Structure 1
């Protein structure tokens, strides 16, 4: 067996007509939204591949941040493409955060939201949502657990317009 970046390939070529197999290491089967603590009690949330002009609901759990307390709300000035729709205590501790994300452009994108404490005005946590966004015409990504498509924005096509122009 040859192993390359978590993928194992057989060294022997398959017999004629036999199917070939690629084996993935178990750690690659982890298909959930990843939440990573950063410096100063901030968090990076990696949501995987998304498509442009699609609206997604993203749900993730943040570990408990004692400074925030139990009553937490989003900052009043949200990102234009990312908005928090719900924050509830998670059954296993911490916070369950539900947000809506509109993927507008292709590339590796990072949107930020702030969570504020309703009891401690000095406490806040920055959450960066990191997504790899591909063009809407380049296939369908396998969405991570915790991410679901909730809508598609219509694409304007000037060839379908019935406007005749100026005479």
Structure 2
């Protein structure tokens, strides 16, 4: 039958893989040559950045690594601004390292502790050392699931460090 269509020879409506056509640095391109994986921060309309950490388990600690594109107004020497929330003594999101990338951006490594289920959002602010008027707000979002309902497949740039232990006990990293 000459009128039948063969699935593999159809030229219209073919499957397109974003890795093939997207330029480097695009949020949909995955660069396998990079040594350390990280999430890409996306600029919001208000000038802040959003990092989507994906699905995480409640009552666990994660390392979240993300990359910001070059922001010329910030400068090179960055630090985190103290939390403006007086009700929070121990933040759930702590910056461990801030470093420059070869492309001129900024790579941020954080420790993220999850405590409750649902969509969570943690804010942090990066400031230029010595110039408090130059700052950048970053929101890290995650969908946190109950620890007894499966194991989420973590995105590149997110690594589970282990479960949170109750007060008085120390967390062991293996």
TM-score, structure 1 as length reference? 0.72
Which residue of 117, 138, 141 maps to 1:127? Answer: 138
Structure 1 outlier segments of 4+, above 2 Å: 24-34, 76-79
Structure 2 Cα separation of the partners of residues 100 and 112 of structure 1: 13
**8 Å contact from structure 1 (residues 35, 45) kept in 2:** yes
Q: CA deviation at 1:30?
A: 6.6
SS at 1:122 equivalent: strand
Q: CA deviation at 1:66?
A: 1.2
Q: CA deviation at 1:33?
A: 2.7
Provide structure 2 residue ranges, at least 5 long, that are not aligned to the other structure.
1-14, 20-27, 31-37, 168-174
Q: How many residues align?
A: 134
Q: CA deviation at 1:38?
A: 1.0
SS at 2:41 equivalent: strand
Structure number with the higher strand fraction is 1
Aligned-pair RMSD on alpha carbons? 2.6
Q: Determine the structure 2 residue equivalent to 1:105.
A: 116
Q: Determine the structure 2 residue equivalent to 1:137.
A: 148
Structure 1 or 2, whichever has the larger Rg, is: 1
Work out whether 1:146 is the aligned partner of 2:157. Answer: yes
Provide structure 1 residue ranges, at least 5 long, that are not aligned to the other structure.
1-23, 157-167
TM-score, structure 2 as length reference? 0.69
